[in-house]
Amino acid sequence: QALEVIRQLKETMQIERAHMRLRFILPVKEGKKLKERLKPLIKVIESEDFRDQLEIVCLIDPGCFREIDELIRSETKGKGTLEVLSLKDVEEGDEKLE
């Protein structure tokens, strides 16, 4: 029932799930190709470093986490890493309700 109420509230209010902040570290070989496949799943790329490895810090919708994790595991054959930096990234100016 709560999911249905949230859908109805979205029609009149601007409600959005809090984003997750992630860090990917991908091998150079798979990094470029994998980055293109990850782009549609990423909301905001905060930083990107492409030296020895491709390191990306980004914000994603929590519903995409499983798909991103599976994509990184399968494409890098265990060489890539995915780290959760924060589960709830609240934008500045948002109030925290207690």
Q: What is the pLDDT of residues 60-75, one digit of tens each?
A: 988 889 999 999 998 8
Report pLDDT for 22. Answer: 93
CB atoms within 10 A of CB 37: 13
Can you list the positions of beta strands (E) in the chain?
19-27, 42-50, 53-60, 81-89
Report pLDDT for 97. Answer: 52
Domain 20-87 in CATH 3.30.70.240? The answer is yes
As given in the structure block, the two tokens for residue 64 are: 């995409």
- What is the residue type of 50? F
> How much is the pTM?
0.72
Nearest-10 crossing angle of helices 28-38, 65-76: 150
Query: Between these two residues, 66 and 78, which has the higher pLDDT value?
Result: 66
